[in-house]
Structure 1
Amino acid sequence: MFEDFGWHHLVPIAKGAWFTVVLCFFSIILGGVIGLLLGLGATSDNRWARWISAIYINLIRGIPLLIIIFFIYFALPLLVPGMDLSKEVVAVIALSVYAGAYMGEIVRGCIQSIHKGQFEAADALGMSYFQKYRYIIVPQAMKVIVPPGIGFIIALVKDSSLVSTIGFIDLTKAGRVVSNLTVDPLKSFLAVAVFYFIICYALSRLAQYYEAKMARTNT
């Protein structure tokens, strides 16, 4: 028996939106760590670190996110017998692996945008590799990483809808369930679009606040 779309149907859609936010939060954290390591490796003087970073970044960026999700969910348990990953874990791993490659490229570009004199000054002061990046390079890179970083995060939020293909109850999956229940896809997915807009708009506003704060700090 079908139902008419009502306000109470926004509850499961809102829960799906919350699951999307949580999923993207953990994926961005893990992907950010991977991206930072890849970015540092890509700009390192170590040849092996540059090669490994380049292979990872180019390989993952050349594979659609949906294929990565399917590989981890369907193929990985076949390659590693006994591995049983939940949909939630697969979703986080897939998005983190995917985000890591793009964040690594962003970090690489931001580090290379810093004037060469900053590196030479740090070396002249006798700083170690970690001190140089901890106190000189990374703080300056963070000032320029926000616009491209937030742009990618917004894209990742929308791309996260692909995890619904393995049954993860995200915002898109919740909208599909409500649509099947009410046979009213117009209202259901209009509500889904509104929630996606709210999430992405909040991220863009957060980025603007961060940029304004950094501008005040520099003046």
Structure 2
Amino acid sequence: MSLDLKNALPSTDELPCSDDIPVDNEDQNFLPNVLLFLLQSIWASRMDWFFGVDMAVYHTTGINPRVPVVPDGFLSLGVERKKNGKSRKSYAVWEENQVVPILTLEMVSHSPGGEYDEKMAIYTRLGVLYYVIYNPEFWRRDQHQPFEVYKLVDGNYQLQIGEPCWMPEVGLGIGRYQGVVAGIPQELLSWYNQRGDRYLTAVELAQQERSRAEQERSRAEQLADYLRSLGIDPDNLPSKQS
């Protein structure tokens, strides 16, 4: 991009942060945030990525650089976690050293939003490598699968086979699982490692640690009971002589 063109483009301070179109349901905001919070744990020590939720992405491959595309979620690599130390209002490709998102996520709602045609064409022109469409409720209506991952190959999106879908350029896999949110069973999205193991949430890790501690206490109590059965006081064991 020429310097003159870059200087003529608006800054993100001048541009709306989103398109102000309300979401159909709470999951359209909740599930992308689940992925964001999980990334904050997985990549806690990395400062070279950004995950946006319902944030405008401005680019020069459309009809007008002031007209954004607004994914439900998107991931960019090789950019600052905080732009100049501050939170982003929106994401303008020309302010990010021409780094386009490597992954976008669209969640299909009751009112079709062009996920399989219009937005796919936008992301193709933009050069988004992976395009994820999550459609758990209306996939039969749309004649697609509930969860689809497309990869841009030679200028066209190709549907990827297998779930979770491993994305080597991202270093993560993505897929669905049955979880529990506030005591309610629900299908959720998650990141996976190359072996296909799901990364656990902070809540799950805490539960896992509590379970491990309880198991250790149980083993200690069983050992103490066994020693007592042998007539040995577990609280008064002889010290080992050197």
Which category describes the TM-score, using the shorter chain as reference length? under 0.3
Question: What's the TM-score once normalised by structure 2's chain length?
Answer: 0.19
Q: Which has the larger radius of gyration?
A: 2
Give the structure with the higher percent helix.
Answer: 1
Question: What's the TM-score once normalised by structure 1's chain length?
Answer: 0.21
Give the structure with the higher percent strand.
Answer: 2
